[in-house]
Amino acid sequence: MVLEQAGGVAVRLGTPTSYSERLTVVDLDGLRAAYDAQMRMPTLAGVIHEFDGPLRRSVGGHVGRIRAPRDLGVGGAELDRLIARQRDFFRDRGQGVEWKRAGHDLPPELPERLVAAGFVAAEPSAVLLGFAAELAASPVLPDGVTLRRVSAEEDLRRIADHQTAVWGFDCSWVADLLIGQVAAAPDRISILVAEADRRFVCTAWSGYEPGTEFVALLGGTTVPEWRGRGIYRAMIAARAQEAVERGFRLLHVDASPDSAPILRRCGFHQITTSTHFHWTPPQ
């Protein structure tokens, strides 16, 4: 299967028939517009949201979050003051903050001004969207692996331990995040675990954004020895199936370089990139 992109339109060539080829045209500009209209400021259950001009701050959890529309509408010294206010707000709280910027955002000088204010850019992610109906399927799992939805605190703490072991740094905050979201809005989060021999081998969850067409696929983490055996794909299929059942049309992933190729092969389409800029208060 070949994916070509030109002028904002992706043309996916399906398996040829004997005399012709079937074409599926995906309107990337339309997908990007839907993302900008509906997913630039997703809410997070269990935290406080407040605005400063065009920005929205999320206060609570292990780190603060800054989200913004595509065009901030400010530049120069005014933009510097806006950035400094966010940094100083979280400095006074003794908390770090994450500012997310998409690759097609305005103004173009925002990254350099964030860095000048002390923010550090993480590695960019690919922003991928998929059609839930196309990706929904009964999950196919390797022998000995079972899939179940969880919400009990014991399982959520096991997920945090699993992610800490896989990534090699402290992910204990994941347990508090998931516990808080389940308590605040259980209908907005669906958490899956794949188990083998009573061990979590893959964990992932879906965030449902009310009033939109979107479900965010989050947290997908597979232990190294179980990678390449279809478990991550099964997690995608199961979450897409649930999204369709609940009436949501689009799936959204900020994908790492490891995950992006798998998601593209599954049928996701890249609409932009995203970079998380982090500021950490002095010790």
Question: 139-191 pLDDT, tens per residue?
Answer: 999 999 999 999 999 999 999 999 999 999 999 999 999 999 999 999 999 99
Q: 180 near 65, Cβ under 8 Å?
A: no
- Over the chain, what is the mean pLDDT? 90
Residues 265/196/205/96 CA torsion (nearest 10 deg): -100
Contacts 24+ apart (CB under 8 A), 110-113: 110/72, 110/79, 111/275, 111/277, 113/79, 113/80, 113/83
Q: 214 near 39, Cβ under 8 Å?
A: yes
Question: 81-108 pLDDT, tens per residue?
Answer: 999 999 999 999 999 999 999 999 999 9
Q: What is the pLDDT of residue 61?
A: 78
The sign of the CA dihedral 222, 62, 89, 45 is positive
CA distances from 158 to 49, 173, 241 (A): 29, 12, 25
The burial class, CB within 10 Å (0-12 / 13-18 / 19+), for 94 is: exposed
Torsion angles phi and psi, residue 46, rounded to 5: 90, 5
Distance between CA atoms of residues 2 and 15, nearest Å: 10
Distance between CA atoms of residues 132 and 269, nearest Å: 12
Q: What is the pLDDT of residue 60?
A: 81
Local confidence band at 24 (pLDDT 50, 70, 90 cut-offs)? low
Between CA 120 and CA 126, with CA 125 as vertex, the angle to 5 degrees is 155
Name the more confident of 96 and 20.
Answer: 96
Between CA 227 and CA 232, with CA 230 as vertex, the angle to 5 degrees is 75
Q: What is the pLDDT of residue 5?
A: 29
Q: Which residues contact 246 (CB under 8 A, 6 or more apart)?
A: 208
Q: What is the pLDDT of residue 11?
A: 35
| Of residues 5, 3, 9, the one with CA closest to residue 29 | 9
Does the model's pTM come out above 0.75? Answer: yes
DSSP class of residue 26?
Answer: E
- The secondary element (H helix, E strand) that includes residue 239 is helix 231-245
Range of weakest confidence among 2-11, 51-60, 126-135, 260-269: 2-11
The DSSP result for 146-205, as a single string, is EEEEE--HHHHHHHHHHHHHHHSS--THHHHHHHHHHHH-GGGEEEEEEEETTEEEEEEE
Question: 238-282 pLDDT, tens per residue?
Answer: 999 999 999 999 999 999 998 899 999 999 999 999 999 999 998
Tell me which amino acid residue 116 is. Answer: A
- Statement: residue 3 has pLDDT above 60: no
Between CA 264 and CA 2, with CA 101 as vertex, the angle to 5 degrees is 20
